[in-house]
Amino acid sequence: WGADGHETVGFVAMSASFLAPKALSFVRSSLGCTYDESLGPAATWADEVRPEPAYAWSANLHFVDALDNAPTSCSVSQSRDCPDNQCILGAIANYTTRVADTHLSAVQRQEALKFLDHFIGDIAQPLHVENIAAGGNGIDAKCNGSSTNLHSVWDSGMINRLLPSKYNNSVTTWAAALVTRIKSGSYKCEASNWIACSSTTETVSKNHDSHVNHGIIPLECPLVWAKDSNMFGCSVVFNFTSGQDLCTSSYYDEAIPVIEMQIAKAGYRLAAWLNSIFDGAT
C-alpha cells in the first residue's frame, strides 16, 4: 500500500477498544512523541527507510512472490515461496519475536513494532502475495487517464480516488468508518474470522516442510493471512481488459470493496496480534 493505506491500517488498530492494556501501553511508550504515540503515523516508516543503503536488506521483506498460477490457480507455500525466510512471512515471524524481546534495546523494539505495523498492512495487499510480473509492477495499467502499473493501482491509485470522493480526503475519517463497520456494520459477522488465527507461537505445520533459516521459525498466521489475500489474484485482480481505465470503470467498483475490507482486516489483525503478544489475548 501507499502511505494512505498504511496509515489507515495503523489508525484502525488504534481505535478505542481494539488494543488491550499492555499492548496499548507498549505502543504508546515505544512510539512516543515522534509518532504521536500512534500506529497511524508510524506505519509508513518501513517504506521511508527502504531506499536507504543501510536498510537495503529490508526491501524483500515487504512481499512474498507466490509462484502460483494466478488467475487460474492461487496458492502460497512457505517452502516454495519463502524458503530462506527473507520474505514478508519470515519478517512477521522475526519482528513478532523481536518486539517482545526484553534483551533488545528500546530502539530495536520500536523498529520491530514499526515493521509489524507496516508488514501486517502489506500482507493484506493481494499483489504483495503474488509473483506475476513482480507483484504486478511489470503490468501496464491506466488509472484516471494516467499510465501506471497494476501494483501501483492497488497500492494507491484507487485509494487516491476513494479518499476525496467518500472520506473528505482524510485517512482518520476513513479509518473511523472502517472501525464502525467492524464493530456494528457490514464487517461485523466476518471480522471474528479475520482474527481467528492469532497465535504468535504456532509454527507452520511440519508437513509444509518449512526450514529454520536466519534463526527464524515460520509462523502459521502470516501464512494464513497471505493465502487469504492471494485468493484475490484468482478473482478481481487480473480481471480487466487492455486499455481499460482501472480507476474509473467497473474494475474500480469491483476492487474498491476488496481494498476497503483488506485495509480494515489488516488494522483489526494488527491490534489482535499485538494483544496476543503483549496481553496473551486471543
**Residue that is written with C-alpha cell 543503503 in the block:** 53
103 is catalytic: no
62 is catalytic: yes
Give the binding-site size for ligand DCM (rule: CB under 6 A).
11
Q: Is 127 in the site for ligand DCM (CB under 6 A)?
A: yes
Taking the CB of residue 102, how many other CB atoms lie within 10 A of it?
A: 5
Inter-CA distances, 67 with 109, 131, 162, 181, Å:
32, 6, 31, 34
Sign of CA dihedral 148, 154, 160, 164: positive
Q: Which region, judged by CB under 5 A, interacts with Zn ion, from 55-63, 92-100, 107-115, 177-185? A: 55-63
Q: Is 266 in the site for ligand DCM (CB under 6 A)?
A: no
208 is catalytic: no
Q: Pick from 3, 49, 134, 177: which binds ligand DCM (CB under 6 A)?
A: 134
253 is catalytic: no
155 is catalytic: yes
Taking the CB of residue 245, how many other CB atoms lie within 10 A of it?
A: 16
Q: Which is nearer to Zn ion, 7 or 155 (CB)?
A: 155
Q: Is 137 in the site for ligand DCM (CB under 6 A)?
A: yes
Q: Pick from 65, 220, 228, 260: which binds ligand DCM (CB under 6 A)?
A: 65
Q: How far is the CB of 34 from ligand DCM (least distance, A)?
A: 17
Residue 4's closest CA among 162, 151, 229? 162
Helix (H) or strand (E) holding 140: strand 140-143
Q: Which is nearer to ligand DCM, 33 or 54 (CB)?
A: 54
Q: Pick from 6, 109, 128, 269: which binds ligand DCM (CB under 6 A)?
A: 128
Q: How far is the CB of 237 from Zn ion (least distance, A)?
A: 13
The catalytically annotated residue of 45, 65, 151, 225 is 151
- Own/partner pairs for 172-179, CB < 8 Å, 24+ apart? 172/11, 172/40, 174/4, 174/8, 174/263, 175/8, 175/11, 175/12, 175/15, 175/40, 175/267, 176/11, 176/15, 178/8, 178/12, 178/260, 178/263, 178/264, 178/267, 179/12, 179/15, 179/18, 179/264, 179/267
Q: How far is the CB of 176 from ligand DCM (least distance, A)?
A: 26
Catalytic residue ranges: 1, 6, 47, 50, 62, 118, 122, 128, 151, 155
Q: Which residues bind ligand DCM (CB under 6 A)?
A: 62-63, 65, 94, 127-128, 134-135, 137, 151, 155
